[in-house]
């Protein structure tokens, strides 16, 4: 979605739809993380998790391999484990 949006004009309605979708995904992440930790920590983790999600999906698509997603999941687990330790 991000690649497609990057090809569109800034005022294109489809680009706005992608932006809205990405904001909704981050909102879901933030909400789940707020259930696990304080709001400030959740906010920082949301950004990290969103980067892991978007970056791994982009690279997995480019490389035609799920390895980046598997690695991103392992990194996310490490971040989550850091909450309890």
Q: What is the pLDDT of residues 40-80, one digit of tens each?
A: 999 999 999 999 999 999 899 899 999 999 999 999 999 98
Q: Give the pLDDT confidence score for residue 6 in this predicted structure.
A: 76
Q: What is the pLDDT of residues 12-25, one digit of tens each?
A: 898 889 889 999 99
Estimate the crossing angle of helix 39-63 against helix 67-84, to 10 degrees: 170
Residue 83's pLDDT band, with cuts at 50, 70 and 90, is confident
Q: Give the pLDDT confidence score for residue 85 in this predicted structure.
A: 55
Q: Are 81 and 73 in contact (CB under 8 A)?
A: no
Q: What angle do CA 41, 46, 47 make, to 5 degrees?
A: 105
Q: Where are the domains of the chain?
A: 2-84
Estimate the crossing angle of helix 39-63 against helix 13-34, to 10 degrees: 130
Q: Give the pLDDT confidence score for residue 26 in this predicted structure.
A: 95
């Amino acid at each position: 979605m991000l690649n497609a949006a990057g090809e569109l004009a800034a005022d294109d309605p489809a680009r706005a739809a992608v932006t809205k979708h990405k904001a909704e995904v981050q909102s879901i992440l933030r909400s789940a993380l707020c259930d696990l930790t304080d709001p400030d920590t959740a906010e920082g983790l949301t950004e990290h998790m969103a980067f892991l999600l978007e970056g791994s999906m982009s690279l997995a698509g480019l490389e035609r391999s799920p390895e980046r997603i598997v690695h991103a999941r392992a990194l996310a687990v490490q971040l989550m484990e850091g909450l309890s330790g």
